[in-house]
Amino acid sequence: MGFADQRFNVNLSILFTELPLLERPAAAAAAGFSAVELWWPWTDSPTPARSELDALKKAIEDAGVRLTGLNFYAGRLPGPDRGALSVPGEESERFRANIDVAAGFAASLGCTALNALYGNRVEGVDPGEQDALALENLALAARAADRIGAILLIEALNQPESPLYPLVSAPAAVEVVDQVNAATGLGNAKFLMDLYHLSMNGEDLPSVIERYAARTGHVQIADNPGRGAPGTGSLPLEELLDQLKKAGYDGWVGLEYKPGDRPSAEAFAWLPAEARAAR
């Protein structure tokens, strides 16, 4: 097998960021990709103007690419917030206001995966209170995803870069997946397996794949160290993706790495051109 046997999309919130947002879908298409994913693009607004939503939708459609994944509002990314849904007060309210907006935008483009970042621990707030709020909001998000035929993704980040984020292992994230599915009865919550974050946490990646491939709804990759393209670090990403494939995972693999000191269009030499468009 190998990289040519995977289905890759490009995360336009970390690649092609040297371009304005509305130019990125066409740039991904010009680089040979047929699918893209996004963090919530409007970091200061969970409810942007309809004209902004329509402009991005048109840019994606005009580029001829598919939107295959979208984050719910999660505060400032990249930045210190790392999620909003478990943060009491204004941030969790902003997350709730975003749920139907994000789901509606995803539905308008046929996107079937929505990612909800859990949110940092807040000083002076009982972690149990945050966890109860998170479960309530994740259940709302799962129901909204279900209404558009989508899955809800729950992601583990890494402790060195997100020290206040509580889900910093595969088991911790999958436990929340189980809680959401139990709360809703829908079964549409899935694990987002980000191999970079898990490697930063020191997890045994082959064991994680063996244990959780069947629970995984999406995969993201970057090499480690450095969060660069495959081949810039030491992770055996080709082997790991082969293992995922053999374990039955046939979904998208999101390219969520930094291009380095070069234009993003030059950061794909590791992937043959004929392997970039989903078949």
* SS3 sequence of the chain: CCHHHCEEEEECCCCCCCCCHHHHHHHHHHCCCCEEEECCCCCCCCCCCHHHHHHHHHHHHHHCCEEEEEECCCCCCCCCCCECCCCCCHHHHHHHHHHHHHHHHHHHCCCCEEECCECCCCCCCCHHHHHHHHHHHHHHHHHHHHHCCCEEEEECCCCCCCCCCCCCCHHHHHHHHHHHHHHHCCCCEEEEEEHHHHHHCCCCHHHHHHHHHHHEEEEEECCCCCCCCCCCCCCCHHHHHHHHHHCCCCCEEEECCCCCCCCHHHCCCCCCHHHCCCC
Q: Out of 37, 91, 203, 256, pick the active-site residue.
A: 256
Based on the residue annotation, tell me whether 155 is a catalytic residue of this protein: yes
Q: Among 168, 207, 213, 166, which Cα is nearest to 193's?
A: 213
Structure tokens at 55: 């402009």
Asked if 274 is an active-site residue, the reply is no
61, 155, 266, 274: which one is catalytic? 155
- Residues designated as active site: 155, 256
